[in-house]
Chains A and B, each alone.
Chain A
Amino acid sequence: MDVTESFRLLAERLRDAIVVTSAGNCSELWWDITRETERVFYLEASMSLASLFAAGIALGASRNVVALSGDGAFCMNPGMLMVERAMALPNLKHFVLSNRCYGSTNELPLGFAQRADYAAMARAAGIERVYRIATVKRLGQALDEILGVAGYVFAVLDVEPLGRRLPSPPLDGPELKFRFGRYLERIGGRRIFDAPLYRNNDSESAIDTSI
């Protein structure tokens, strides 16, 4: 399926979710479509750890936490599936964008993975809710169940390579940390930073100057 169309659909349907994107096309495309700077953590500085980073966030979140990884990242650490299965977080949804190439490095083919079945690997790891989706229409149908029913999900999206270069999100690391963390605090999550920015999570104007 067309990767841009699939991401447009995800951006539309994941409005209530917290999102973590891995390095490469996932971060670049999400930024290109949404220009979001708060509820998404562009984990561009790391491949292969986006879903476990998301799992850590999901431990304290009431909302769904969605990890979007490329298959280049997935192949670096497929053992993550066993950890995610063991954790069985009801609000963690892990999507792997399978384009069979390294999207952000000139789409160099992911040669050794051409015959790999990522969904079958997930089932073999004991994961029960596994999806393999090849059309935007099917993605739309599946998202109702993926997002609406509590439980860990692993979903493989078979997509075509993007075929063009996109810029990275223009956020420095600390800026991203504070935007994302303050957003989580503001929507009612646990306190993250030692120094509170607000006296009251409901009032952004009440800046605490006592620190």
Chain B
Amino acid sequence: MDKHADGDAVAAAVADVAADCGISLVASLPDGWITSLIERFEIDGRFRHVQVNREESAIGLCSGAFFSGIGALALMGASGFLTCIYAITKINYTYQIPLLIGITLRGRPGDHAKFHQSNGLYLEPLMRAIDIPFIAIERGADIAQLATAFRHSRVMARPVVVGFGRKVLCGEA
């Protein structure tokens, strides 16, 4: 199986878990690691996929969707997540609105993109600084944790982040 096919299989697995746990709205902005995943959500009839203009818009849209009784996922790269701190802390923390946010774990060892190394340095410390729960999805067996994270966000009425590693998204782990 080639890498693209592996990525498609992972995307299908993520979509299955998302659908099963009640997610039907996905708002996304791309990162190179999640293009297969975004394409899957776009064509999968179980989801309404909305391409947004910037990551904060995904936070706003998905937070509003909570009041529609719709399960939502805001999907973005690590860099985009870093631009969302204002929206998350002001909207989701102030009003205690649950939200599942999916990000890429860019900048870790093995990511050769120099322009993502700042994410490796600051992404996880920043998440700890704002006390946002974080679950890493680094192996295929971890994909089911998406449902746990979604449920946890509703229980604690706060956003929860799931971070996808490169290898799992490529079907290598």
Contact = CB atoms under 8 A, between A and B. Distances in A.
Interface string A47-63: 01110111111111100
Given A45-B94, A176-B95, A194-B154, A57 B65 contact: yes
A190 interface: yes
Contact of A83 (B53, B67, B95): B53
Chain A, interface residues (CB within 8 Å), range = 35 or more
A80 interface: yes
- Interface class of chain A by DSSP: helix
A79 interface: yes
Interface string B85-116: 01100110111110000000000000000000
Given A49-B87, A173-B95, A80 B53 contact: yes
A43 interface: yes
Contacts of B140: none
Contacts of B61: 52-53, 55-56, 83
A83 B54 CA distance: 10
A190 B86 CA distance: 29
Contacts of B57: 49, 52, 77, 79-80, 83
Interface string B2-28: 000000000000000000000001000
A60 B69 CA distance: 7
Interface residues of B, number: 34
B69 A57 contact: no
Nearest to B50: A87
Interface in B48-69: 48, 50-54, 56-57, 59-69
A174 B67 contact: no
Interface stretch (A8-16, A154-162, A177-185): A177-185
A39 to B, nearest CB: 11
B91 A49 contact: yes
B70 interface: yes
Given A86-B50, A174-B95, A46 B60 contact: yes
A86 B52 CA distance: 9
B72 interface: yes
A56 B91 contact: no
A77 B90 CA distance: 16
Contacts of A173: 93-96
Contact of B70 (A46, A174, A177, A190): A190
Contact of A177 (B54, B60, B65, B96): B96
A59 B95 contact: no
Nearest to A67: B64
Given A49-B60, A173-B96, A176-B95, A56 B53 contact: no
Contacts of B72: 56
Interface of A: 20, 41, 43, 45-46, 48-50, 52-61, 77, 79-80, 82-83, 86-87, 173-174, 176-177, 180-181, 184, 189-192, 194
Given A48-B60, A83-B53, A189-B69, 17 more contacts: A45-B95, A46-B60, A49-B60, A52-B60, A52-B64, A53-B61, A53-B64, A56-B65, A56-B66, A59-B25, A80-B57, A83-B61, A86-B50, A86-B51, A173-B94, A177-B97, A190-B69
